[in-house]
Structures are given as structure tokens and as C-alpha cells.
Amino acid sequence: MTSGVEQQRALLRDSVAQLCKKYDRNYWKRCIAEDRWVDDMWHEMGELGLLGLTVPETYGGSGGGMTELALVMEELARHGTATLLLVVTGLSRIPILKYGTEEQRRRFLPKTATGELKLCFAITEPNAGTNTFKIETLATPQPDGSYCLTGQKIFISDIHVSDYALVVARTTPYQQVSDRRMGLTLFLVDLHSPGIEMRPLNIGLEEPDKQFHVFFNDVPVPAENRLGEEGMGIRYLFDGLNPERQIGAASAIGSGYLALEKGVAYAKQRVVFGEDPIGHYQALQHPMAMARARLDAARLMLYRATERFDAGESAAVESNMAKLLASEAAFDAWDIVLQAHGGYGFDRDYEILQGWQASRLGKTAPVNNQMILNFIGEHVLGLPKSY
């Protein structure tokens, strides 16, 4: 017998599937061709309450938790229409909800739930890369309590369509802290402020999402846009990183299932030797079966992670493992499906190469899988820190 919660989740998936009939791959491809972001789809997601998931009703949201948001992301990815902005919005709202002032919650959360206000996330820097502690972007306190932001960020997704960025900056330079975890502060930076320059990067993925190299040249940031206490940003940030891994895993899983759906359909009808289709060959069938088993296993790990997070339990291990397993399984699924398509896989009209490329990103971002293995090695197995 299915429980009420399961029925609600089935309805949620159904409403995403309905949305994806209107905003399908053709819509997605039109946006890419016309060089525009998926604004209409985003607004309709807001109207349907999908963007309000994880935001409590008191702040204009739809309630629900990471489990529901991950289900939405998985379903979008199954249709090949998952935007990275959902990953960074999901991550960025957690610290606002947990550590923002009442005024900040009321100012930001309701509008992100409707889609009126878009929020991106900026942590990566050219000289720091994976080593977040080494970031150099500096927020200097001013006599009136505001801050002056200087520095640069790279690979920032969808900042060109966003209204605010959750920026991780140093309020004390790296060289001046005794503990590298200290001195980091979070800011909600109004992207219409003076002194912000965005240069598009030449990222080879065929998606409506875009990445930018961003320069902050003495950007004024009012005191009321600082999130939480000065210097304590890393603690707030860590709370948002597990959700980021979860939504990343959900995206990979949905995309992996899409690959298999395409691969199986093709392998059932393509005949080259005798009368049997190529799906008859174990050389293709077994890797596809393996990918399916690994995607299903990653999915179990994902929803264990989201349920633990939603219950207020620690979900770091499960979130990291889910992201690792999902991104590896999704890439392997696209890889064998590319193989199964032979030369046609390289014809962009088949939309295999694009999925293969996008799935490769999952092994590198939002965090590379080597860092996840480091985490498991150190914190689960108890081995020495390796870097």
C-alpha cells in the first residue's frame, strides 16, 4: 500500500513531467540556439510551487524538503531540461534559512520561491580552485558598517540572469588567520551594484546555462547583506554543501536514466549483422545493465541522504557517496550509449554527445570526485588526510 507521502511525491513527479511536455527538449534547444536562458520555464516552475520547495510556507514557499527538491531535479534531468541554477539556488537558500536574520528571510526567500528573484553562488576563484580556504576576494569593513568587495570569481553559473549572488569572501586575509577555516564571510551581493564586471567563459557544454569570470572592483555591500556573523562563513556554507551534492546527484541520476532510455530504444532497433538488433550483444547489453544497477543504487543512497538531511540528521557521508556514485554511473551510462550509437552518436541531432559531455561535468563540479574520495578515506575509513 502506498503512503500519503509517496502519493504526494508521485504527484510532484507527475507535475514536473507535465511541465516538461511544454518545456521539452525542443524548447531547450531553441533557448540554446537563440542564446537565451530558460526564463519562461523557471517562472512557470515558480507558479507551480516547484521553486518553493525547501522554503517554509511562512516565507512564501511550498514546504517540503530536499527529498522533494531532489525529485524535481531528477525528473527534469530525465527530460534533459535540468538547469544548474536549481542546484545553486537549492544550496544558497539553506544558509539564508538557517542563519539569515528574519528581515533577510523575508526579503529573499519568498521571491526566490516565485522565481521573481534569482540567486546564484560564487565561491570558486582562479588562484584557489578546490582549496576554498585560500580564496582572496576581500570584503573590507567600512566606517559606516558596510563592506567594500574586491576580487574575482570564476566559473560562476548563470550570474548573468541572476539578481543576487551568494558570495564567499574573506574578511580576514588567509595569511592573517591562525585557523584557515576562520575569516570567511558570506554576503548576498546585489548584482546591479556598481563595480561588477562579468566576462563570459568559452565553456563547451551545449546548455542554456552559462559560466562567467566575475570581477568585483570596489563593490559596495551594505551591512544588512552580510549573512550571519563576520568570519564564521565556513560553518554556514558547510550546511549548504550537502544539499548541493544531493541536487547534483539527482541531476546525474535523471540524466543517466535518460541515456539508458535512448540507448535501449536504439539498441532494440539497430540491426547490422544477421537479423538480431545490436541490443542482442552482451558487449552492449551488460554495460547498460550495469549502469542501470549502479544508477538504482546511487538513487537509494541519494534518497537516504535527503531523508537524513530533512530529518535534521547528519547527511555528509550519504550526500558525498550519492554524488560520487551518481556522477560515475551517469557518465558510464552515457558512454556506453554513445558507443551503442556508433557513428550516429557523434551526430549532434541524436543528442547523445551533448548528454555525454554534460554528464562528464558531474565528476568535476560542483566538487571533484577526488575530493569526495578524500572525504570518505579520511572521515569514513579513518585514514590519514592525503593532501
Ligand X SMILES: Cc1cc2nc3c(=O)[nH]c(=O)nc-3n(C[C@H](O)[C@H](O)[C@H](O)COP(=O)(O)OP(=O)(O)OC[C@H]3O[C@@H](n4cnc5c(N)ncnc54)[C@H](O)[C@@H]3O)c2cc1C
Q: Which residues bind ligand X (CB under 6 A)?
A: 88, 120-124, 129-130, 155-157, 203, 211, 361, 364-368, 370-371, 374, 387
DSSP state of 277: B
C-alpha angle 184-188-192 in degrees, rounded to nearest 5: 130
Closest approach, Cβ 238 to ligand X, in A, equals 15
Q: Distance (Å, rounded) from C-alpha 123 to C-alpha 168? A: 5
Question: Which of 285/374 has CB closer to ligand X?
Answer: 374
Residues 6+ apart with CB under 8 A from 158: 37, 83, 84, 85, 88, 118, 120, 209, 210
Q: Which helix (H) or strand (E) holds 315?
A: none
Closest approach, Cβ 266 to ligand X, in A, equals 27
Q: Distance (Å, rounded) from C-alpha 21 to C-alpha 4? A: 26
Closest approach, Cβ 33 to ligand X, in A, equals 20
Contact 103, 51 (CB under 8 A): no
Question: Which of 86/340 has CB closer to ligand X?
Answer: 86
Question: Which of 155/236 has CB closer to ligand X?
Answer: 155
3-state secondary structure of 147: strand
Question: Which of 159/322 has CB closer to ligand X?
Answer: 159
Residues 6+ apart with CB under 8 A from 365: 155, 248
Please give the residue whose beta carbon sits closest to ligand X in the complex.
129
Question: Which of 156/301 has CB closer to ligand X?
Answer: 156
Cell numbers at residue 293, please? 544497477
Could you tell me if residue 154 is left (phi over 0), alpha (psi between -120 and 50 degrees) or otherwise beta?
Answer: beta
Q: Distance (Å, rounded) from C-alpha 68 to C-alpha 94? A: 15
Residue 208, judged by CB atoms within 10 A of its CB (0-12, 13-18, 19+), counts as: buried
Closest approach, Cβ 95 to ligand X, in A, equals 14
Closest approach, Cβ 274 to ligand X, in A, equals 43
Question: Which of 69/288 has CB closer to ligand X?
Answer: 69
Closest approach, Cβ 273 to ligand X, in A, equals 40
Closest approach, Cβ 204 to ligand X, in A, equals 9
Residue type, 226: R
Closest approach, Cβ 215 to ligand X, in A, equals 14
- The answer to whether the peptide bond before residue 366 is cis (omega within 30 degrees of 0) is yes
Smallest Cα–Cα separation from 336: which of 279, 253, 254? 279
Residue type, 271: V
Question: Which of 247/361 has CB closer to ligand X?
Answer: 361
Question: Which of 172/374 has CB closer to ligand X?
Answer: 374
Closest approach, Cβ 223 to ligand X, in A, equals 24
Question: Which of 150/368 has CB closer to ligand X?
Answer: 368
